[in-house]
Structure 1
Amino acid sequence: MHPAPSIILFTTLSGLGFGMLFFLGLDIASPRGWVAFVFYLIAFALAVGGLVSSTFHLGHPERALKAFTQWRSSWLSREAVAAVIALGFMGLYALGAVFFDAAWRPLGVVGGVMALVTVFATSMIYMQMRTVPRWNHWSPPVLFLGYALAGGALLTGKITVAMIFLALAAIVQVVAWIDQDRREAASDTTLATATGLGHIGSVRAFEPPHTGGNYLTKEMVFRVGRKHAVKLRIISLALMAALPLLLLLVPFSHIFAALAVLSHIAGVLVQRWLFFAEARHVVGLYYGR
């Protein structure tokens, strides 16, 4: 699949933002006053900024509000509804923490839980796609939630929790890559099975479906070289988990903490690029891919 910058930013930034809101909402000793203001400002900027960036991938961004109307059948719509609920409850909770030195716990709990529900709904948009085998897998919900929790803990200063989730996310990511590669290599889907013509003999395309590129070849049949994918996997793990863990193990320093956050975000951006670039849509079979 083509790694659109808007979708990469959306899945990365919104995950971090909603991960922060989860910890801010459920933390009994959550910050108050102007310290809380800074935390909530960052969390809302990431969450809302990510959601807004996703609209740039739409053919008609002005129709984004229609996403709220199909919640019975669409994970995209459920994501939009959950995001509004999470942001609404956490907005009220932040209001109490910043201006009234109060912790309105029910609002924080509901808002925090709905923040994770939003991330889960985002992951299900991809997991439900049977036409993309690498996404139709157990890993998207686990990894999306894992990255959100790791980043949220890191950005809210929960060092021990962040280290645990960073290590777990890295392990699960490696396991997911191995399992996805295994399934892809073992797949018996071919042009013959895709067309249903295998029973009459060998099947091959007589000629390309068209002479030039189109939406499908641009968006659905994007390919990344295997050797480049391996390098990018190593880079993403190093930046997302390994380097932040090393920086968190040394005596605390605001500079090291900031570097750990920046490294983690860079690693997640690389991972998200791979998430889309390595995904192969079955329509590619009709284009000889």
Structure 2
Amino acid sequence: MQSNFLTQYYYLWSVALLVPFWALILYKKRSGWEEIVYIGMLAGAGAMFFDRYVSFRDYWHPQTIFDLYNFESFLYGFFYGGISAKIFEFAAKTDYAPTRPPNPLLLTVVILANAVIFVAMRIVFHLNSVENFVVMLMTTSALLVLIRRDLYKVCAFSGLLILAFNACWYWIILLIYPDAFKDIWSPAIQKGPQLLKIPVLEHWFILAVGCSGSMVYKVMAGSRIAPPEQAEADKEPLRAGRLILRYAGRFAVPIIALGIVLFRMIVFGTTPIHMKKLAAFFM
């Protein structure tokens, strides 16, 4: 096993490697900062929940700084979510701008549908947590493309771009910590098929993240390709008061989602979620 530092702080330092590229996208696409932060918060809340209560049990076992609050999971979701939201626009040198505030009702429906899909796949097919996650996000991506067929290129190319970026990220990790998969991932994942020295399931997972992460906000906010003059105008700084008025309430759903996850952790700790009981709740 590698040094204790690499193992103990793997999740934290590996996520830190994402920051430069995330910051570059935020700088280049600063007119779309709302989408970057919105999807980041939503993905961060989801990552905290799924890591703590599902994937830490059957997929991988990274150590976290705080035993209960896996803050690194939030950072992973926040940075990867933000990157996936704008990676296509960054590469294609185009801008999508919202035409309305994100629809909270539609997003809530999508989140609940994801929960139902995840629980159903878990109970019926007995897949591991990440396999379930891939099916859930791919299904979400397909549904969003049906709603906004003009975004199919954004969905497809975002998935492929984030897939390439993720491979580069893992190669850097393996240069620093060659035994990362051996020490931290579960034996079943280690024995599974690999591509480019990375478990194939990891490729599928990040492909699903890229496809869905690029779509959610655009569908919720009715985003369209912005004329160059609008994109430049949106880059102009706004005063704090105008920002508060303009964006008040827009982040309600991600904030509520994060609050629910933290509430669950505070009240119930690491008590596992029983899928059959959760399924009964929806029936």
Answer yes or no: same fold by TM over 0.5: no
TM-score w.r.t. length of structure 1 = 0.27
Could you say which structure has the larger radius of gyration? 1
